[in-house]
Amino acid sequence: MSGTMEKSGWFRVLGIDPAAAGPTGYGIVESNGRNCRMLHYGAFKVTAKRQKDFSGAALQDIHELLCRLIVEFSPDAMAVENIFTALNMRTALRLAEVRGVVLLAAAQHGVAVHSYAPREIKASVAGHGHADKRQIQTMVRALLSMAEMPEPSDAADALAVALCHLQAEQARRRFNLPVVSSRATREAPPKIAAKIVGPRQATTQGATHVTTRGSVTRIVSTR
C-alpha cells in the first residue's frame, strides 16, 4: 500500500497519545500537499475485568490494536508523545511501558517513529505550549475541518500528535534538515492544507473505544 500512496502523493501519519491508566488515543491523518484529512481516530481502554485477570492485558491489547491499524492503514510514519518528566515515577514507568509497545509495533512493521514533547505538540497545533485539552480539541477540529468536536480528548490529542509531525516534516523538507527518528522515513510529506476530504474507519476488536462513523461520533464496544 505504501507504494500506492507514494504514487498518489499522500503522506500518512499515525499519531499516538500513550496513557498510563486512561485510554490510549490514536489518530490517522494524511496530506497530499493540497488537502489534509482525518482518516480514523479513537481511544482504547482495556476493561477492568481483563486487567484484573491478566496484568499485561493493557500492553498486549494496545500492541494488537496498533498492529491492526498499521496493517490496515499502512502509515508512512508514526508519531508519539514523549513521556512527561514532571509525572511521578510510578506513572512515568507505566507510560514508558506503553511507549515501548508503540515502538515495538512500529519496529515489527518497519515504520519510522518520531517523538514530540507535549508543549511542542500544543504549540504546533494551538500556537502556544500551555493550551488545555479543550483548546486542543477545538484547534484539531478547525485544522481538519471536522463536522464535530473530536471526542474523547485522548483521541484529539493523538490527532494533534499526527498533525505536529506533518508540520515538522513540512519544515524539514522546506529547509532540507536531517531526519530525526528511530528509522529514516520513506518519504517526506508534501505541504499541509487544512481541508478534510472524507474519513475512513478501521475496525478494531477486543476493547471499548471511541471512533467516528461518518459525521457522527459514538461509543462502540466490540466485546
Which residue of the set 30, 61, 76, 81 is catalytic? 81
Task: Give the cell for residue 173.
Answer: 523538507
Grid cell for residue 53: 485477570
Contact 187, 12 (CB under 8 A): no
Active site residue 53: no
Catalytic site includes residue 148: no
Alpha carbon distance 14, 217 (integer Å): 19
Which entry of 30, 61, 76, 154 is annotated as an active-site residue? Answer: 154
Q: Which of 17, 30, 61, 76 is catalytic?
A: 17
Residue 48 burial (10 A CB sphere; 0-12, 13-18, 19+): exposed
Measured CA to CA in angstroms, residue 5 lies from 10, 12, 13, 74, 76 at distances of 5, 8, 12, 9, 9
**Residue 6 annotated among the catalytic residues of the structure:** no
Active-site residues: which are they?
17, 81, 154
